Amino acid sequence: MKYSDNPAPSKLNRLTDFVANMSPSLFAIVMATGIVSMAASLHGMQAIGMALTVVNFVSFIVLWLLTLWRLVAFPKNVLADVSDVRSAFGFFTWIAAGNVLGVQAVRILKLPDLAFGIWCFSVGLWVLLTYAVFYFVMAHANKPDWREALGGGWLLAVVATQSCAVLGSQVAHGSPLISLATAFWFGTGALLYIVIISAIFFRLTLFELAPKQLVPPYWINMGAISITTLAGTRIINDAPHFPGNMGALLPFFGGITFIFWAFATWWIPLLILLGLWKHAITRLPLSFTPALWSMVFPLGMYATCTKMMEAAFHVKVFGLISGVFAYVAIAVWALVAMGLLKTAIREVRNLRSAPNPTA
């Protein structure tokens, strides 16, 4: 339900209406921009990496200001989103966005203290949102037909969990406790992926799929396991700092990380074929939607995790594959950003033509 049904709303009412109905998954913009920035930096495109980092910090601050406004002014709307299985998993973008930004802070801006602060904040959000979202979804959520509700967006729970492991490894500084925590998130996220992707695979293969139901968040099928791969490479790096005899798990982490990378790679041709079926065969028009950021993030994450596979296993072919996907991710980010800019310009023009509120 819209905040205002005024046929000619004022500029203030338009903005208020946007905030009241703002999707919690808008933080996917920060996730996508941040990981593309990292992919560019890993391949020597430092100017692009820095430029996107600046854009990302500004976007993160603006989105949090709007989110705080919504939390204070429209708590019932927020509660309704948490209680609806179709929107609840979008809250996990808050966590992942912060952790991706933290990686940029430590790797591109060289600000480890800022990264540590962001990580602590994101871990607190993870504890709060993980149990709040799953509690409401299981116990109180508005549950439509599961074939309509289930989708790639559910895997944002995996992305958020693994992002805590990825940034945690960047700020651990040899701490056995933080190293153990990163291994915990890696294991938890891996099992969450297996559980959720099993349900998604079941839905895609055994039930009718209308073209309009094949939305961009299905790319998170690949993005979630890509960030799991990235977390695995970080676990391999952190293994010497594990407490006790846990370092003996290194061969296990290495093997399962390669399996995750292989499955992420397997998804890519299939997702492309499904996209061609949707737009080229069934002729469903391709149009800009904020959900397209859910396609950018997996591409950037695959480029990043594959580059880190090269560092973890010392196999150059990983770096070559990563380089190709880094350019693809940058190109797709630019196209989606152009769509967002075009939409923003149109909205600004609408605001200018809207009447000012009267006293």
Phi-psi domain of 314 (left: phi exceeds 0; alpha: psi -120 through 50; beta: other): left
Average pLDDT over residues 145-158: 88
CATH superfamily of 13-352: Voltage-dependent anion channel (1.50.10.150)
Average pLDDT over residues 312-319: 95
- pLDDT classification of 1: cutoffs 50, 70, 90: very low
Residue 188 has pLDDT above 60, yes or no: yes
Q: Give the pLDDT of residue 357.
A: 54
Q: Give the pLDDT of residue 303.
A: 97
Q: Give the pLDDT of residue 334.
A: 94
Cα–Cα distances (Å) from 300 to 30, 271, 294, in that order, read: 12, 15, 11
Q: Rounded CA gap, 107 and 219, in Å?
A: 26
Residue 301 has pLDDT above 80, yes or no: yes
Inter-residue contact 178 to 113 (CB < 8 Å): no
Q: Rounded CA gap, 331 and 52, in Å?
A: 13
Of 12-26, 63-77, 170-184, 244-258, highest mean pLDDT = 63-77
Q: Rounded CA gap, 29 and 93, in Å?
A: 9
Residue 169 has pLDDT above 80, yes or no: yes
Residue 68 has pLDDT above 70, yes or no: yes
Cα–Cα distances (Å) from 103 to 7, 137, 213, 313, in that order, read: 45, 30, 33, 22
Q: Give the pLDDT of residue 359.
A: 45
Q: Give the pLDDT of residue 318.
A: 97
Q: Give the pLDDT of residue 356.
A: 58
Q: Give the pLDDT of residue 348.
A: 65
Would you say the C-alpha torsion 52, 53, 55, 60 has a positive or negative sign? positive
Whole-model pTM: value is 0.90
Inter-residue contact 228 to 308 (CB < 8 Å): no
Q: Give the pLDDT of residue 11.
A: 65
Q: Give the pLDDT of residue 3.
A: 47
Inter-residue contact 260 to 228 (CB < 8 Å): yes
Residue 208 has pLDDT above 60, yes or no: yes
Residue with more model confidence, 244 or 201? 201
Average pLDDT over residues 293-307: 95
Q: Is 311 exposed, middle or buried (0-12, 13-18, 19+ CB in 10 A)?
A: middle
How many CB atoms sit inside 10 A of residue 88's CB?
Answer: 26
In three-state form (DSSP H/G/I as H, E/B as E, the rest C), the secondary structure along the chain is: CCCCCCCCCCHHHHHHHHHHCCCHHHHHHHHHHHHHHHHHHHCCCHHHHHHHHHHHHHHHHHHHHHHHHHHHHCHHHHHHHHCECCCHHHHHHHHHHHHHHHHHHHHCCCCHHHHHHHHHHHHHHHHHHHHHHHHHHHHCCECCCHHHHCCHHHHHHHHHHHHHHHHHHHHCCCCHHHHHHHHHHHHHHHHHHHHHHHHHHHHHHHCCCCHHHCCHHHHHHHHHHHHHHHHHHHHHHHHHHCCCCHHHHHHHHHHHHHHHHHHHHHHHHHHHHHHHHHHHHCCCCCCCCHHHHHHHHHHHHHHHHHHHHHHHHCCHHHHHHHHHHHHHHHHHHHHHHHHHHHHHHHHHHHHHHCCCCCC
Q: Rounded CA gap, 81 and 332, in Å?
A: 29
Q: What is the pLDDT of residues 120-130, one digit of tens each?
A: 999 999 999 99
Average pLDDT over residues 39-57: 96
Give the start-to-end residue ranges of the domains of the chain.
Answer: 13-352
